[in-house]
Amino acid sequence: MDFLIDFFSNNFSGCVWLITILVSMCPTLESKIAIPLALNTSIWGSSALSPWLALLLSFIGSILPYYIIVLIIRKIKSKTTGFFTNKFLQKYMLRSQNLQKQNSSFKKYLLLTAFVSVPLPLTGVWTGSLITGLSNLNIHYAFLSVAVGAFISSASITLLCTIFDNSVPFIFMISLFIIILFMAIELVLSLIKPKVKN
């Protein structure tokens, strides 16, 4: 914890808003880490952002990569099929196929919103963008769905940090721990699955 406090306070103390946007743009981290980081007075002291500003900057930062991700995925998808047999992308292919099976277009976009709005690792704007890129959803309608989901996620994290104001450093550390844990589980499962098939 002291290492993180020193790193952020020594390098970004004058521009908390910038680090909030940059962290919220990172895959997996997004607003789940950016908001508790922006509100963390043990790192920033009096320079910590207000809840409303943390919410706004984190939301903006998290949705910035959407079009880039979707357009890159669709470009790759149109050029090659081998890329999408990759184990990493198979689960996203399954999610996009399950989404496309829905009869109602409204239900497709509503499910995408619900998926992005859950503030857990491997959900969020990056995952929603991957699913959109792999599916045939309208890119602009899907953006609205992803943006609404991102706002709900950001708002719920901001509310949690505001209610437990004295626990923001713990929320930050717990969020970081959960993300690392989820990534470790994903890595272990990806290594175990091929052995189980053999």
Cβ atoms of 28 and 177 within 8 Å: the answer is no
Whether 198 shows a pLDDT value over 50: the answer reads no
Residue 198 corresponds to which tokens in the numbers above?
């053999």
In angstroms, the first-to-last Cα distance of the chain is 42
Residue 191 corresponds to which tokens in the numbers above?
């290594």
Global pTM reads: 0.79
- Residue 118 or residue 187, greater confidence: 118
- Residue 198 or residue 28, greater confidence: 28
Q: Where are the domains of the chain?
A: 1-198
Total residues found in the chain within this entry: 198
pLDDT digits (tens, 9 = 90+) for 80-117: 655 555 555 666 666 666 666 666 778 888 888 988 99
